[in-house]
């Protein structure tokens, strides 16, 4: 049994503020330890349920948050950025399932903790007319390799978004958001039990889950918060600017669409 984990940080159980997830902030070192501990709890539960290999892709910000010296001994870590497949680096058809740990809701969700989609510059990402969060976007990458998403963890809005965007999976609510920077949080022992139960259910039902596969061709519509971001992204060939803040393009398959999305986001970062 081979499990792939993409681990973000905003959806980790104790995280509620920007300082918790921002490298260089006085609180960040404390919360990367909490992230490592939560990921380890998921790995341990997966191993106890029969996983022989676990690959973790650190998927937050600079993607080097998880502490290798404290990592579960049965796991392998992909750390650092940029990576060709970003939050899904290392995924291939050899995996039995994908777990999204510490994920967050898509931009525009409320009262979700720090809702956004890949970057704070983006207001909305639509794929073939459907609004997607990072869970939805990344699940479709797994789908390109015929691998299902079996587990998603985060606040309640994270799970709600994922249910709208993915095929069936096990959702674990590790905290209850009450605002963008506020949540009802629980002692780690409580969270650990919830994670353990979620992993056990996901592993038990593994054969029930189906990959989330996007139909082709793939139309992507990307709406930014600023017209300046759309202006720079629209410089790419075959990218159409629909209005001041929105661009659109069509790709022959999802992997191509995803790579072009990443390029658009990178170009938008050049605008002031």
**Residues placed in the known binding site for Zn(2+):** 8, 10, 60, 104, 134
d(CA 165, CA 142): 13
How far apart are the C-alpha atoms of 4 and 89, rounded to whole Å? 10
Beta bridge partners of 54: 3, 75
Question: Binding site: what residues are annotated?
Answer: 8, 10, 60, 104, 134
Q: Which residues of 100-124 are buried (b: 16+ CB within 10 A; e: fewer)?
A: bbbbbbbbbbebbbbbbbbeebbbb
Candidates 20, 32, 106, 116; catalytic one:
116
> Is 72 marked active-site?
no
End-to-end Cα spacing for the chain: 47
CA distances from 129 to 6, 107, 222, 239 (A): 25, 16, 11, 16
Q: Give the DSSP H or E segment for 251.
A: strand 246-251
Catalytic residues: 116
């Amino acid at each position: 049994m081979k499990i792939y984990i993409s681990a973000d940080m905003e959806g980790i159980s104790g995280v509620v503020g920007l300082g918790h997830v921002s490298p260089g902030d006085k609180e960040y070192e404390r919360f990367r330890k909490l992230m490592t501990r939560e990921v380890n709890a998921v790995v341990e539960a997966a191993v106890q349920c029969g996983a022989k290999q676990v690959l973790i892709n650190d998927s937050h910000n600079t993607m080097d948050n998880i502490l290798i010296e404290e990592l579960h001994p049965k796991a392998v870590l992909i750390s650092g950025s940029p990576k060709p497949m970003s939050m899904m680096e290392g995924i291939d058809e050899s995996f039995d399932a994908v777990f999204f740990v510490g994920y967050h809701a898509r931009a525009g969700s409320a009262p979700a903790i720090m809702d956004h989609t890949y970057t704070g510059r983006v207001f909305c990402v639509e794929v073939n007319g459907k609004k997607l969060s990072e869970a939805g976007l990344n699940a479709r990458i797994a789908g390109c390799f015929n691998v299902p998403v079996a587990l998603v963890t985060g606040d309640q809005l994270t799970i709600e978004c994922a249910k709208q965007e993915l095929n069936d999976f096990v959702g674990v609510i590790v905290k209850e958001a009450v605002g963008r920077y506020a949540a009802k949080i629980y002692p780690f022992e409580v969270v650990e039990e919830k994670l353990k139960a979620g992993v056990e259910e996901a592993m038990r039902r593994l054969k029930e889950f189906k990959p989330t596969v996007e139909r082709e061709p793939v139309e992507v519509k990307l709406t930014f918060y600023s017209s300046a971001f759309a202006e720079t992204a629209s410089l790419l060939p075959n990218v159409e600017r629909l209005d001041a803040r929105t661009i659109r393009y069509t790709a022959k398959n999802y992997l191509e669409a995803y790579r072009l999305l990443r390029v658009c986001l990178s170009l938008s970062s050049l605008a002031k």
